[in-house]
Structure 1
Amino acid sequence: MTLTELRYIVAVARERHFGRAAEACFVSQPTLSVAVKKLEEELDLKIFERGSTEVSVTPLGEAIVRQAQAVIEQASSIKEIAKRGKDPLAGPLKLGVIYTIGPYLLPELVKHAIELFPQMPLMLHENFTVKLLEMLRTGELDAAIMAEPFPDAGLAIAPLYDEPFVVAVPASHPMARRSSVSTTELKQETMLLLGTGHCFRDHVLEVCPEFARFSSDAEGIRKSFEGSSLETIKHMVASGMGITVVPQLSVPSGPNQTPDPHLRHIPFSDPVPSRRVVLAWRRTFTRYEAIAALRNAVYAGDLKGVNRLTA
């Protein structure tokens, strides 16, 4: 039994497909299949049930995969402990970020990371919250920047900042001249939302539950469109297709950021809806100084309009 074989069965269990698992492990499918079969023969049991379209994990296989994940993590910790003895910031840090945070936080974060700890390059991965949680659990990521709430996965969490939401409207919209707007005033508008899977969509629906009704009557949103990214939706808003709700950091404010002349951002009136952005990592992750350095790099940025949570 080898660590490589354990990594293979973890990948197959995650992907539910030998071909995709092989791609994720950067090996050929025959190589991976032979290794998995060899391990099953050594253990004298089936870890996977092979179907025509999908692979499923047997009940005993589930327990074996969980233990394999723990073994892989512990093996990685040995290397981390050795590096930490020399320099806790030595070596790359694998960082995940959700889609609605990455484009607005990462440019400054990466710049300050290079300035503060050049010996610890950030290996970045953007994805949905549920995928980042899975990658944290399996050790494919060291840490992730996400927005609460998310399922409790036994992670260590450090709050970074509370980020208010704002309303984005076309420059020609009657609301464009307003100093603030309430959530109830959005009921009669054509609302553009992120597609299913984005946690920010869920945050917006919690703030304005009428959006979830997709109602065509006078009590709800007249029409709803879905987009794949906030920037795509903002372009749709600028073209006059409707309005949307966005996080504060997505609003251009820096000297090198040019606001869209066809778009206006209006603050919410009290109570202002917001989301809490946090840094999460496995409790067994040993590079505590790396986590602290990452938080410092986040706080070195402008973070205009958000409430920093440094405690």
Structure 2
Amino acid sequence: MTITQLHYVLAVAEHKNFTKAAQKVFVTQPTLSMQIQKLEEELEVTIFDRTKKPIQLTEVGQKIVQQARNIVNESDRIQDIVDQQKGFIGGIFRLGVIPTVMPTLLPMFIKNFINKYPKVKLKIEELHTEAILEKLKEGHLDAAIAATPLELEGIKENVLYYEPFVGYIPEGHSLHKSDKLDVTELDINDMLLLEDGHCFKDGVINLCKASRDYEEEQLQLESGSFETLIKLTNEGLGMTLLPYLHTLDMKEKDKKNLKMFKDPVPAREVSLIYNRSELKMQIIEALRSTIAGVVKGAITFQNVKIISPLNNKKELKLN
């Protein structure tokens, strides 16, 4: 059994196709097939059911793939140990970022990071939390930036910052004249929300501590972008909540519609998340310190209450 064979097994398990898997690992399809067959003969089991389209893992194959991921990750640690010993910060680093963080946070730190660590080749994907967790599990991401706490076994969370929720309320709305918002004043049925899959939407629902009554609504609308929500709010279709960093570059006429909350300010926790195997920790730490450095000047709130994206509506007060 070789680590190369295990790489081939993982590739076929991912793509469910020998030809695509061979392309992924840069070998010919016959070479990949032969090596997997040799492994199956050595173990005296069948890892893949080739009679099904697409190819499926057998019951024992599923267990082998799970262990193969652990072995491949641990083998990668050898190079990781050498890099850390040498103080080398470089190589390919695959980072996932949730959509409600990507457009605001990325421009704040990416240029600084690239200039400071020119040997790191960043590959960044915008993904919803569910897809991020799946890719972290499968080893297709080294780390991600997501809303936490997620409280998942095998995943570590390194908090970057706490980002307040901000109300966006147009003139004519009953809450527009309020100096500061009170959470108890919020009506989820008056709220324009992001579409399903966005953890920011889950946070808003948890903040309001209510379920939505869709049967009573004349207009049911959920959008994938804050810009759309802002435009619809300006048309008098309700109010919405925004993450604080999204409000910094808004037009002055729109900033007049922003309302902060009373203390403790409801906020989301944004963290770097990664596998407990802690591969490429030198790059993860470089990212953390770079992001913390630029965000510290932008978010200075002290008394906040963390609103969890989890369904259990967990809250955490920080003073």
Question: Do they superpose with TM above 0.5?
Answer: yes
Cα contact 1:157–1:278 (8 A) shared by 2: yes
The amino acid across from 1:158 in the alignment is N
Q: Do structure 1's residue 247 and structure 2's residue 243 form an aligned pair?
A: yes
TM-score w.r.t. length of structure 1: 0.79
- Report the Cα distance in structure 2 between the residues aligned to 1:5 and 1:271, rounded to whole angstroms: 54
> What runs of 5+ residues in structure 2 fail to find an aligned partner?
305-319
Tell me the residue number matched to 2:267. Answer: 274
Q: Secondary structure at the match of 1:103?
A: helix
The amino acid across from 1:108 in the alignment is M
Q: How do 1:191-202 and structure 2 match up within 5 A?
A: 191-202=191-202
Q: 1:204: how far off?
A: 1.2
Q: How do 1:36-47 and structure 2 match up within 5 A?
A: 38=37, 39-40=39-40, 43-47=43-47
Tell me the residue number matched to 1:113. Answer: 113
Q: Secondary structure at the match of 2:241?
A: strand
Q: 1:47: how far off?
A: 2.5
Cα contact 1:146–1:278 (8 A) shared by 2: yes
Tell me the residue number matched to 1:124. Answer: 124
Cα contact 1:166–1:267 (8 A) shared by 2: yes
Q: Secondary structure at the match of 1:88?
A: coil
Q: How do 1:126-275 and structure 2 match up within 5 A?
A: 126-171=126-171, 173-187=173-187, 189-210=189-210, 212-217=211-216, 224-251=220-247, 253=248, 257-259=249-251, 261-262=253-254, 264-275=257-268
Cα contact 2:143–2:273 (8 A) shared by 1: yes
Is the deviation greater in 278-287 or in 65-74? 278-287
Q: Secondary structure at the match of 2:294?
A: coil
- Report the Cα distance in structure 2 between the residues aligned to 1:98 and 1:290, rounded to whole angstroms: 19
Partner residue of 1:305 out of 299, 304, 312? 299
1:32/1:305 CA distance change after superposition, 3 Å: farther
Cα contact 1:181–1:268 (8 A) shared by 2: yes
- Report the Cα distance in structure 2 between the residues aligned to 1:202 and 1:48, rounded to whole angstroms: 38
The aligned length equals 300
Tell me the residue number matched to 2:74. Answer: 74
Q: Deviations over 1:37-95 (max 9, x none)?
A: 63545544333446866654332112101111112212322222333333331323322
Cα contact 1:144–1:280 (8 A) shared by 2: yes
Q: Secondary structure at the match of 1:278?
A: strand
Q: 1:35: how far off?
A: 6.0
Q: 1:305: how far off?
A: 3.2
Q: Deviations over 1:199-242 (max 9, x none)?
A: 222111111132x333455xxx7754211233333333334433
- Report the Cα distance in structure 2 between the residues aligned to 1:20 and 1:187, rounded to whole angstroms: 53
Tell me the residue number matched to 2:62. Answer: 62
Q: Deviations over 1:172-202 (max 9, x none)?
A: 5443343222233232753222222222221
> What runs of 5+ residues in structure 1 fail to find an aligned partner?
none
- Report the Cα distance in structure 2 between the residues aligned to 1:29 and 1:232, rounded to whole angstroms: 47
Cα contact 1:142–1:281 (8 A) shared by 2: yes
- Report the Cα distance in structure 2 between the residues aligned to 1:62 and 1:168, rounded to whole angstroms: 48
Cα contact 2:159–2:269 (8 A) shared by 1: yes
Cα contact 2:168–2:239 (8 A) shared by 1: yes
TM-score w.r.t. length of structure 2: 0.78
Q: CA RMSD in A?
A: 3.4
Q: 1:265: how far off?
A: 1.9
Is the deviation greater in 2-11 or in 95-104? 2-11
- Report the Cα distance in structure 1 between the residues aligned to 2:19 and 2:98, rounded to whole angstroms: 22
- Report the Cα distance in structure 1 between the residues aligned to 2:9 and 2:234, rounded to whole angstroms: 48
Partner residue of 1:296 out of 277, 289, 294? 289
- Report the Cα distance in structure 1 between the residues aligned to 2:258 and 2:22, rounded to whole angstroms: 43
1:193/1:30 CA distance change after superposition, 3 Å: farther
1:83/1:302 CA distance change after superposition, 3 Å: closer
Report percent identity of matched pairs.
33
1:170/1:20 CA distance change after superposition, 3 Å: farther
1:113/1:215 CA distance change after superposition, 3 Å: same
Q: 1:19: how far off?
A: 8.4
